[in-house]
Structure 1
């Protein structure tokens, strides 16, 4: 369970995918709300205060937001995680300090990785029980060290 209450907006166009992620986050003790379109994201962000916004690449594409515009849309000190499509390339200079990208395939392991990213309580263990400075899921490479991730999500 989380030691603090995070309010998280999940903007994922696929209903099952978004509901699974929202449920997974709620199971960890956070408040999670799910929406399906860029218009809903804007409407909900205007009326609520979120700590984290998780959006799939399709919502970004449909909205035609740039990463700079997305950072301006985020409330207060909120951060964003973009769920990118396999094969997408996101150079880190494209977006500000408050936005990170996780690359699909989207699966339970990646849902778990998002939650681990948010928890940032301890370094994930390797299969043999040793800890690593770099956090790499079998299905994806986050492209940054776990220490960087921990600094990014620390509230």
Structure 2
């Protein structure tokens, strides 16, 4: 195998690290903070006021759900270093699907079992909370697609 083909096939660890810490991580953090703040605003909170305990618990549960949903999207997005999630067959890794199913069950337990909700301080989000939390999924996928498109454009310029 030629030297250039070996170089093309070798894993470049800086790209996944950059994508995880420099792109996807900040996007996930923004999505989670937006879900928390959005839930507070939908519950009637205003800047400077102290939210009630029930609203704060719902906003916390919404933010936690956004964390988990963003990580689920991240797991699919990071399966390829160069292709966005669309062309990568989602059933290609049964272990990933099992891990995601397990994570969804654990999320439900953390948000619905009283012993865990008391410990963690969050409650099961309402429909609006789930909608806000679910926005983490397209945020991560779009950020990943934009980052990979940017990388491809830069690679084609340097060749």
TM-score, normalization: structure 2? 0.26
Rg larger in 1 or in 2? 2
Higher strand share: 1
Structure with larger RCO (C-alpha < 8 A, sep 6+)? 2
Structure with the higher helix share, 1 or 2? 2
Structure 1-normalised TM-score? 0.26
